[in-house]
Structure 1
Amino acid sequence: MLTCHVSTTSPTPAEAAGREGTWFDLVGDDVGERARVERATGLHLPDREHLGGIELSNRVGIADDALRLGIPYFSADDDAAPSPVGIVLTPRHLVSLRYAPSPAFDLAAERVRASVPGTSTDAFVVLVQSIIGRTADGMEAVAAEGGSLSARIFGDGRRRTSLLRAMLAEIGRVEARLTRMRLSATGLLRIVLALREAPPAWIPKPALARLHAAQKDLDVLCEFDGQLTDKLQFLLDAVLGFINIDQNDVIKILTVASVVSIPPVILAGIWGMNFDHMPELHAPHAYPLALLAIALSIVLPLLWFKRRNWM
Structure 2
Amino acid sequence: MLIIHEHGRKAAIHWTTGMDVPRAPLWIDLLDPSDDERRCAGAISGLRVPDRGDVDNLALSSRIRTDDDAMYLSIPYFADVDHAARDGGGHQPSPLGIVVTGRLLMTLRFHDSPAFDLASRSCDEQRWESSGDVLATLIEAIVNLAAKRMEDVSADLKKLSDRVFTTERLGTPALRDCMLEVGRLEGEQARNRSSMLGVQRIVSFVRAKQPEWMSDQVEVRLRVVDHDLRTLDEFDDQLTNKLQFLLDASLGFISTDQNHVMKVLTVTSVATIPPVILAGVWGMNFKHMPELDWTFGYPMAIGIILLSMLLPVLFFKWRGWLEGD
Deviation of 1:56 after TM superposition, in Å, equals 1.5
CA–CA separation in structure 1 for the residues paired with 2:219 and 2:179: 44
Aligned to 1:151: 162
Residue 73 (str. 1) matches residue 73 (str. 2): no
Aligned to 1:187: 198
Residue 31 (str. 1) matches residue 31 (str. 2): no
CA–CA separation in structure 1 for the residues paired with 2:11 and 2:155: 38
Deviation of 1:156 after TM superposition, in Å, equals 4.3
- May I ask how many residue pairs the two structures share in their alignment? 310
Residue 250 (str. 1) matches residue 255 (str. 2): no
Aligned to 1:271: 282
Between the aligned residues of both structures, percent identity stands at: 44
Quick one: structure 1 residues 83 and 279, their matched pair in 2 at CA, closer, same or farther if it must change by over 3 Å?
A: same
The superposition leaves residues 42-99 of structure 1 with CA deviations (integer Å, 9 ceiling, x where unpaired) of: 1002211121122221221111211111011100214421110000001111111001
The superposition leaves residues 251-304 of structure 1 with CA deviations (integer Å, 9 ceiling, x where unpaired) of: 111111111111111000000001111111111100000000100110000111
Deviation of 1:35 after TM superposition, in Å, equals 1.0
Residue 94 (str. 1) matches residue 105 (str. 2): yes
Determine which of 7, 10, 24 is the counterpart of 1:8.
Answer: 10
Partner of 1:54, secondary structure, is: coil
CA–CA separation in structure 1 for the residues paired with 2:237 and 2:219: 27
Question: TM-score, normalized by length of structure 2?
Answer: 0.92
Aligned to 1:62: 66
Aligned partners of 1:17 and 1:41 also within 8 Å: no
Quick one: structure 1 residues 203 and 15, their matched pair in 2 at CA, closer, same or farther if it must change by over 3 Å?
A: farther
Aligned to 2:153: 142
Deviation of 1:147 after TM superposition, in Å, equals 0.3
Deviation of 1:308 after TM superposition, in Å, equals 1.3
CA–CA separation in structure 2 for the residues paired with 1:302 and 1:36: 85
Q: CA RMSD in A?
A: 1.5
Aligned to 1:113: 124
Partner of 1:261, secondary structure, is: helix
Quick one: structure 1 residues 29 and 18, their matched pair in 2 at CA, closer, same or farther if it must change by over 3 Å?
A: closer
Deviation of 1:158 after TM superposition, in Å, equals 2.3
Aligned partners of 1:93 and 1:120 also within 8 Å: yes
Aligned partners of 2:42 and 2:49 also within 8 Å: yes
CA–CA separation in structure 2 for the residues paired with 1:48 and 1:18: 27
The superposition leaves residues 148-181 of structure 1 with CA deviations (integer Å, 9 ceiling, x where unpaired) of: 0001111241211111111111111111111111
Aligned to 1:19: 24
Question: TM-score, normalized by length of structure 1?
Answer: 0.96
Structure 1: where are the runs of 5+ without partners?
Answer: none
Structure 2: where are the runs of 5+ without partners?
Answer: none
Partner of 2:96, secondary structure, is: strand
Aligned partners of 2:161 and 2:246 also within 8 Å: yes
